[in-house]
Amino acid sequence: MTSLTFYGGVNEIGGNKILLEDKDTKVFLDFGKGFSRRAKFFEEYINPRAANGIQDFLTMGLLPDVKGLYRDDLMKMAERKIVEPDIDAVLLTHAHSDHADYISFLHEKIPIYMGDTCHLILQAIEERSNRQIEREVLSYRERPYNKKDDPIKRKINTFRTGDKLRIGSLEVEPIHVDHSVPGAYGFIIYTSAGPIGYTGDIRLHGTIPQMTRDFIERAKNEKLIALIMEGTRIADDTREESEELVSKESKKIVSATNRLVLADFNFKDVDRLRTFLKVGKENDRKLVVKMNDAYFLKHLSKDPKLNVPDIDDEDIIIYLQKKGSGKYQDSDYKGRDKEFVGRHNVWNAQEIAKNESKVLCAMGFYSFTALIDMKPKPGAIYIHSASEPYNEEQEISQERINAWMDHFGIHKFQCHCSGHARSNDLLEIVGEINARTLYPVHTEHPEVYKRAANNVIEVIEERLYPFS
Ligand SMILES: [Zn+2]
Ligand SMILES: [Zn+2]
């Protein structure tokens, strides 16, 4: 008996948690955080309480109430019966929060499989940010929280394309795909009922479309009995977009100014990072990175394939934030931040301001207070290189961004290319793979797939879908 049950990613973008059962084997495909589900009840000043362990997450439906999944310490806090973990593995497609973050709650004996590069990114994330109950993917601290306890490490197994994983009755073949974070994979899984495919997040208009093509080719040849397919942008209009275009437009903007330039992009998007490094270089500007983002350079530069510079690189400047006394004294920088103090390429706001035509600052809205110290001259540039606002909260942030722009006389530009395939590409992909049944996930509009595929299942959450 083989079946699928969807516990997240249903009529929502992200939060994928898909249970595949085959004979006695149970694996989860991703175990992500559902942002829209969370935002239904919570916002900036009202969050699930870490002091209540897992209870707030279970009660409000942010996590499925399923036995044999979660950590003993959390079960104990919730006054639940402690049982042995009943899941053989989690197969993680990539390092984005909406696929990875709720692994934080899972029992540490459940092995997590992920790509090598995905592992590096998660290491950087762990090192750069403070511990939070919703972000303890690689290791966690038992609750109730005691600072003296050592973190408990999860069992991580890494893979690369070409590897074959045996998990119980399943054989799993990870295949690289192109997405807005490196180390992203789709899976072909051989079950006792036949082969099924899971795309994770994919696109065909990125820098290496061939990777996604490799997945499609393999999926097509296997004659899948089921394809679990992302559909983030299935209902959006298709327009021209590419990393090349982002690069071209940004280059034009930057080359026309001698003023300060800020570029607001997600550092995990290594394509975008390389784009702004290149745009900087072509205009004699060094890339200024925040200390937090420097951790990504530190970890990702270890993977030679990614071609990411290390923190010592001559094209990199690390931005020294004001802390403690506000006077940039060595003693202001504690813990992990100490690593950056005294490096030759660490600049404070004044040094950056003095060299405004020589830098391109990788800084976004959350770093705008730095502008107060940098005192940019009118005519400075802000390139917003992320998706445009798609909910109310982001619209409000957008208004605040505009207010900062007005205050400092900064010009704003939008240059972006999405991590998700365009509607036409999605339809082409399902047509080509031609699986027996299609399970759209990671979308609010699964019905649109009916245009290109015959047996489209509009998934109902927590319902069991068996294969005969
Ligand atoms: Zn996603
Ligand atoms: Zn993603």
Q: Report CA(436)–ligand 2 centroid distance (Å).
A: 25
Instruction: Please report which confidence band the pLDDT of residue 395 belongs to, taking 50, 70 and 90 as the band edges.
Output: confident
Q: Report CA(83)–ligand 2 centroid distance (Å).
A: 32
pLDDT score recorded for residue 336: 87
Burial class (CB in 10 A: 0-12, 13-18, 19+), 464: exposed
Task: Extract the tokens encoding 192.
Answer: 């006792």
Spatial distance between the Cα atoms of 162 and 175, rounded to a whole number of angstroms: 7
pLDDT score recorded for residue 90: 98
Q: Report CA(155)–ligand 1 centroid distance (Å).
A: 23
pLDDT at 393 over 80: no
Q: How do beta strands 17-22 and 2-8 pair?
A: antiparallel
Q: Tell me the mean pLDDT in the region 38-55.
A: 94
pLDDT score recorded for residue 342: 86
What are the strands, taking DSSP E only, across 53-151?
89-91, 112-115, 139-140
Task: Extract the tokens encoding 274.
Answer: 């390389």
Q: Check: CB of residue 432 under 8 Å from CB of residue 216.
A: yes
Spatial distance between the Cα atoms of 21 and 464, rounded to a whole number of angstroms: 10
pLDDT score recorded for residue 313: 95
pLDDT at 388 over 90: no
Above pLDDT 70, what percent of the chain? 100
Q: Which residues pair with 159 in a beta bridge?
A: 115
**249-268 pLDDT per residue, tens:** 999 999 999 999 999 999 99
Q: Report CA(277)–ligand 2 centroid distance (Å).
A: 22
pLDDT score recorded for residue 145: 82
pLDDT score recorded for residue 392: 75
Q: Report CA(313)–ligand 1 centroid distance (Å).
A: 32
Q: Tell me the mean pLDDT in the region 333-350.
A: 91
pLDDT score recorded for residue 190: 98
pLDDT score recorded for residue 49: 95
Q: Report CA(144)–ligand 2 centroid distance (Å).
A: 31
pLDDT score recorded for residue 209: 97
Spatial distance between the Cα atoms of 91 and 168, rounded to a whole number of angstroms: 13
Q: Report CA(94)–ligand 2 centroid distance (Å).
A: 7
**63-82 pLDDT per residue, tens:** 999 999 999 999 999 999 99
Q: How do beta strands 194-198 and 226-230 pair?
A: parallel
Above pLDDT 90, what percent of the chain? 92
pLDDT score recorded for residue 389: 73
Instruction: Please report which confidence band the pLDDT of residue 368 belongs to, taking 50, 70 and 90 as the band edges.
Output: very high
Task: Extract the tokens encoding 176.
Answer: 């690289």
The residue whose two tokens read 């072909």 is 188
Q: Report CA(175)–ligand 1 centroid distance (Å).
A: 17
Please provide the DSSP assignment of 153-197 as one string: EP-EEEE-TT--EEETTEEEEEEE---SSSS-EEEEEEETTEEEE
pLDDT score recorded for residue 430: 98
Q: Report CA(179)–ligand 2 centroid distance (Å).
A: 7
pLDDT score recorded for residue 397: 87
Averaged confidence pLDDT in the chain: 95
pLDDT score recorded for residue 41: 97
pLDDT score recorded for residue 191: 98
Which ligand neighbours the alpha carbon of 230 most closely? 1
Instruction: Please report which confidence band the pLDDT of residue 17 belongs to, taking 50, 70 and 90 as the band edges.
Output: very high
Buried b (16+ CB within 10 A) or exposed e, 338-374: eebeeeebbbbbebbbeebeebbbbbbeebbebbeeb
Spatial distance between the Cα atoms of 151 and 403, rounded to a whole number of angstroms: 42
pLDDT at 447 over 80: yes
What's this model's pTM, rounded to 2 decimal places?
0.95
**206-261 pLDDT per residue, tens:** 999 999 999 999 999 999 999 999 999 999 998 899 999 999 999 999 999 999 99
Terminal Cα distance for the chain, rounded: 8
Q: How far is CA 271 from the centre of its chain?
A: 14
- Lowest-pLDDT choice from 26-30, 163-167, 395-399: 395-399
pLDDT score recorded for residue 146: 82
**149-160 pLDDT per residue, tens:** 899 999 999 999
Spatial distance between the Cα atoms of 72 and 119, rounded to a whole number of angstroms: 24
Cα separations (Å) of 316 from 31, 119, 143? Answer: 35, 24, 39
pLDDT at 37 over 90: yes
Alpha helices in 167-290 (DSSP H): 209-221, 243-255, 270-282
Task: Extract the tokens encoding 249.
Answer: 């437009």
**95-145 pLDDT per residue, tens:** 999 999 999 999 999 999 999 999 999 999 999 888 899 999 999 999 998
CA-nearest of 269, 252, 270 to 261 is 252
Q: Check: CB of residue 123 under 8 Å from CB of residue 62.
A: no
Q: Report CA(136)–ligand 1 centroid distance (Å).
A: 18
